[in-house]
Structure 1
């Protein structure tokens, strides 16, 4: 398996996913056409009204950068087959519908803000006549159903569109294919040949694992790993893919939003386990982020501004954190993320003699500490020792800092590096 290890991907740690398309006008999930077994004619009412007049890629890029995101991925084509780029292979595009190449706008805006550019490309295509009517297709069970036959034409179409995306939009850093399932796998996609085309056009690009053959990183979706991911005993780069409210596309009536503090914890947990987090937003039918999405990104931005170095360029630590805490580490800087705020004292096993200085990261204020010698209790000489030798005890302020997730930066002695 190729690896993204040590490169920009693992330094970035945090990315933005953007799902936008005709389904955004329906405002009830990106799978609306499949869920409601909608005919192409019925779905085309959204094509006739597609006018992304409020899609502002530059503002989206600024929001992402402020939130601490370092790369962004746009749905160039989703399962409905509608393309947000100019394609010579189909008229089913944003250029023909609205006179705008949204992939071009997106790529230019993200690069201007210093973000890496990623594109999502669906392997499914419910609009293409060569794609079989299978279990996910909107026309399943209808008289228009067709079985999987010769897919050579569809494979050629996919390769042609991927070639357009990788030659017409500058340096694309990441390609996110979606997805393989029983009956539609590597053979049906022509995965080997498709990957060869990608590598030929963009040798340094990162490709995910959803072609059904090994890629550069793995993509757990709506699932948060709690340990490093491995394949055959070797750690692999990974990216947890999450939504704000359970829907990738704009879903007007879905108000089950995750709290910003929960999202920050998910980001830190990803980094502590050697992974990334990509967080999705679904612009509305006119291309704008709704208030809740904007507020969430801005709340994360307020946390990210002073805490960036505990995430970007950081990774797992060989030290074991105390209860209700996570460690990330970058060189000789160990970051203690406190999921619960303790009363006055926090005991760190195994760190005695290994820490030179400690401070709250958000304001740089010093945290006092001392080492437990194992012979007496800190405050009650009549009590037995409460902590084993080798424990470092921090003395914290009683009041919890007013940040989404408090972080203590520990400066380690020489030689104390991450494993």
Structure 2
């Protein structure tokens, strides 16, 4: 495991600290995938996987009724889980829009009378969360999007039909303009995605990026247009070291699902344990990144019981340990085995992936720690600084422990939290 030692972030687009510093301070966000595919309940790529015609897929359109989609409750759940921003799929690959668009009738407003993007944005702002919008570059509904390897009609004669990408690019630009002018301040724009058959030229990537920056100068835009963005987006894998582009470290965000599917997948029970998700969050922060954790509401728009329980468990942990991730980042200190450090100001946070037997040795921290406590209950952790010459004459450390080691004396019983954290108050460090 990389130690993810502290380093300044470079290589990102220039912004004032006040305008984009929120991203690193937040560290934890909610991704929400919701759309027609939620009614199918078997993955958000269901139309492509099952090669459905538009007529077949429209059986979900005529039944789309998100009567349990409660954006205010979703926002409360995000905040109570320790999340500080949220990103909604305004349009996924099927082309169905959750917002009111003058450019298409294929929207939640026409289907159900509800502008779900507006509800989402207003609810998140009311809870003090930053707002992000996801927009798919693919669109299997639009008549000018070419039938390619991902398109549901790839095995039919439609693959040879003429399509006009210039018209489709104009459509995308028009919708981005609608999203960034019709819903107030938007903090983040998540495009998805480029692939070998289609890249920056097909999307008009430079124009889309310029448009977003023109309309919202402080907006953060990801890297999936196929050109450098403000942050990079590893998907479904967890970096174990800071990420670089061109030899320079960059701002990044790992996006993960609860169970391997972004959209609601009724029969998929491969849920990650809440303790694993907390560890992934801490790993992200320790390596200078964020975690964007996805939920896929049901066809009626509610979170299912397993998702609610998982987020509730994470929320219990962040309620007690949030300051070890919010506003925190990498540390220049090297952690012991089976542990991760994060740091905020003069506080060093030691996350214990395995619970030691009574004593824990922290090389290099002798003389640097003023006070130590378990973070969940504020109980003091006593420590002793060893000089290296007395190791063989005491029971605290093995004789090969180096000078400059700080030894903590821990309770025998592991705290009953998903991931124990010790807060170390550093002396003379900011």
TM-score range, shorter chain: over 0.9
Aligned match of 2:103: 89
Superposed CA deviations along residues 51-97 of structure 1, whole A, max 9, x for unmatched, are 00000000000000001000000000000000000000000000000
Cα distance change of structure 1 residues 199 and 376 upon mapping to structure 2, 3 Å threshold: same
Aligned match of 1:289: 303
Aligned match of 2:352: 338
Aligned match of 2:314: 300
Aligned match of 2:46: 32
Say which SS state the counterpart of residue 157 (structure 2) adopts.
coil
Say which SS state the counterpart of residue 34 (structure 1) adopts.
helix
Distance 1:81 1:146 in 2: 21
Aligned match of 1:100: 114
Say which SS state the counterpart of residue 144 (structure 1) adopts.
helix
Superposed CA deviations along residues 90-117 of structure 1, whole A, max 9, x for unmatched, are 0000000000000000000000000000
Aligned match of 1:143: 157
Alpha-carbon offset, residue 141 of structure 1: 1.7
Say which SS state the counterpart of residue 16 (structure 1) adopts.
strand
Alpha-carbon offset, residue 20 of structure 1: 0.1
Alpha-carbon offset, residue 150 of structure 1: 3.5
Distance 1:245 1:172 in 2: 28
Aligned match of 1:78: 92
Say which SS state the counterpart of residue 315 (structure 2) adopts.
helix
Q: Would you identify which runs of 4 or more consecutive aligned residues in structure 1 move more than 6 Å?
A: none
Aligned match of 1:69: 83
Aligned match of 2:7: none
* Residue correspondence of structure 1 range 320-335 to structure 2 within 5 A: 320-335=334-349
Cα distance change of structure 1 residues 379 and 278 upon mapping to structure 2, 3 Å threshold: farther
* Residue correspondence of structure 1 range 192-271 to structure 2 within 5 A: 192-271=206-285
Superposed CA deviations along residues 281-332 of structure 1, whole A, max 9, x for unmatched, are 0000000000000000100000000111100110000100000000000111
Q: Is the 2:143–2:163 contact (alpha carbons within 8 Å) kept by the matching residues of 1?
A: no
Distance 2:124 2:133 in 1: 12
Alpha-carbon offset, residue 173 of structure 1: 0.4
Distance 2:394 2:234 in 1: 48
Aligned length in residues: 415
Q: Is the 2:145–2:164 contact (alpha carbons within 8 Å) kept by the matching residues of 1?
A: no
Distance 1:73 1:80 in 2: 18
Alpha-carbon offset, residue 146 of structure 1: 3.4
Aligned match of 2:387: 373
1:355 aligns with 2:369: yes
Among residues 26, 29, 34, which one is paired with 1:15 in the alignment?
Answer: 29
Say which SS state the counterpart of residue 222 (structure 1) adopts.
coil
Superposed CA deviations along residues 103-159 of structure 1, whole A, max 9, x for unmatched, are 000000000000000000000000000000000000002122236753110000000
Distance 1:3 1:69 in 2: 25
Distance 2:42 2:414 in 1: 40
Superposed CA deviations along residues 197-233 of structure 1, whole A, max 9, x for unmatched, are 1111000000000000110000000010001111222
* Residue correspondence of structure 1 range 361-400 to structure 2 within 5 A: 361-377=375-391, 380=394, 385-400=399-414
Among residues 115, 125, 149, which one is paired with 1:111 in the alignment?
Answer: 125
Distance 1:394 1:404 in 2: 21
Alpha-carbon offset, residue 380 of structure 1: 4.7
The worse-fitting range, judged by mean Cα deviation, of 228-237 and 155-164 is: 228-237
Distance 1:380 1:365 in 2: 25
Aligned match of 2:13: 2
Aligned match of 2:179: 165
Q: Is the 2:392–2:398 contact (alpha carbons within 8 Å) kept by the matching residues of 1?
A: no
Cα distance change of structure 1 residues 322 and 88 upon mapping to structure 2, 3 Å threshold: same
Aligned match of 1:130: 144
Q: Is the 1:303–1:404 contact (alpha carbons within 8 Å) kept by the matching residues of 2?
A: yes
Aligned match of 1:183: 197
1:319 aligns with 2:327: no
Say which SS state the counterpart of residue 348 (structure 2) adopts.
strand
Q: Is the 2:230–2:251 contact (alpha carbons within 8 Å) kept by the matching residues of 1?
A: yes
Q: Is the 1:133–1:148 contact (alpha carbons within 8 Å) kept by the matching residues of 2?
A: no
Distance 1:115 1:12 in 2: 9
RMSD: 1.4
5+ residue gaps, structure 1, are none
The worse-fitting range, judged by mean Cα deviation, of 114-123 and 148-157 is: 148-157
